């Protein structure tokens, strides 16, 4: 519910469902991800190298496809560069909503349930987790590869954002706390498996 007037090309690109993919995966990132996963496996170096070579050749042979038109690409680039608006998927359904950034921040500042957190507790949590996982490995309860797979990667706090509830009056936000990238994310993922 932004006051910004959008061009027809911008409206068209926003009319795609929220989960619409506008670009092929970056081949370099894909190869780097495969390489990272291979490092965590217990396979021999020869097997890892063979897998890496096959995947690299397949990925690099793939020609990039134009998924959206040039006009839509330009409109999307313009929308991304506009810092006065926030583009969000709605809470229910596969629609997209454009909000003024100031309105979005005002809605997020409702501190009844959540408060900002500084970095110090996160750094302490990472240190404690790493020490605990090392102790568990020394006691032979887990292997080195398991410890490396579930150890904390980052000391950043969970990401907090809101999805607009367009079906409610005043378009309130549904608070979302994404733990992806949080210190306990890899551990929780490993325990789930």
Q: What is the pLDDT of residues 128-162, one digit of tens each?
A: 999 999 999 999 998 998 888 888 887 778 888 88
| Same domain membership, residue 105 and residue 59 | no
Q: What is the pLDDT of residue 132?
A: 92
User: What's the rounded Cα separation, in Å, for the pair 74 and 81?
Assistant: 11
- Percent of the chain topping pLDDT 70: 94
pLDDT per residue as tens digits for the range 79-91: 889 999 988 888 7
In which domain, by residue range, is 131 found?
112-193
What is the overall mean pLDDT for the chain?
Answer: 83
| Same domain membership, residue 92 and residue 5 | yes
| Same domain membership, residue 9 and residue 41 | no
User: What's the rounded Cα separation, in Å, for the pair 52 and 188?
Assistant: 28
Average pLDDT over residues 118-129: 85
Q: In a 3-state reduction of DSSP, which class is residue 87? A: strand
| Same domain membership, residue 154 and residue 86 | no
| Same domain membership, residue 179 and residue 151 | yes
Q: What is the pLDDT of residue 137?
A: 92
| Same domain membership, residue 189 and residue 98 | no
| Same domain membership, residue 144 and residue 53 | no
| Same domain membership, residue 77 and residue 59 | no
Contacts with 16 (C-beta within 8 Å, 6 or more apart), sequence order:
22, 68, 96
Decide: residue 150, CB within 10 A, 0-12 exposed, 13-18 middle, 19+ buried: buried
| Same domain membership, residue 181 and residue 130 | yes
| Same domain membership, residue 163 and residue 99 | no
Q: How many domains does the chain have?
A: 3
pLDDT per residue as tens digits for the range 16-44: 765 566 666 777 888 888 888 888 888 88
| Same domain membership, residue 41 and residue 78 | no
| Same domain membership, residue 8 and residue 44 | no
Backbone torsion region of residue 54, taken as left when φ is above 0, otherwise alpha when ψ lies between -120 and 50, otherwise beta: alpha
């Amino acid at each position: 519910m932004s006051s910004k007037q959008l061009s027809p090309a911008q409206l068209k690109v926003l009319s795609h469902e929220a989960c619409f993919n506008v670009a092929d995966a970056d081949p370099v990132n894909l190869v780097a991800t495969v390489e990272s996963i291979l490092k965590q496996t217990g396979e021999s170096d020869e097997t890892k190298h063979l897998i890496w070579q096959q995947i690299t050749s397949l990925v690099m042979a793939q020609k990039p496809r134009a998924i959206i038109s040039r006009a839509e690409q330009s409109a999307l680039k313009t929308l991304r560069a506009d810092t006065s608006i926030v583009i969000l998927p709605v809470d229910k359904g596969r629609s997209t909503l454009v909000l003024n950034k100031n309105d979005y921040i005002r809605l997020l500042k409702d501190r009844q349930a959540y408060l900002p957190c500084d970095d110090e507790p996160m750094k302490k949590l990472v240190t404690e987790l790493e020490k605990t996982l090392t102790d568990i490995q020394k006691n032979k309860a887990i292997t080195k590869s398991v410890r490396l797979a579930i150890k904390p990667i980052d000391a950043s706090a969970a990401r907090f954002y809101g999805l607009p509830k367009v079906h409610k009056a005043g378009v309130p936000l549904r608070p979302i706390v994404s733990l992806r990238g949080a210190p306990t994310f890899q551990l929780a993922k490993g325990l789930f498996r």
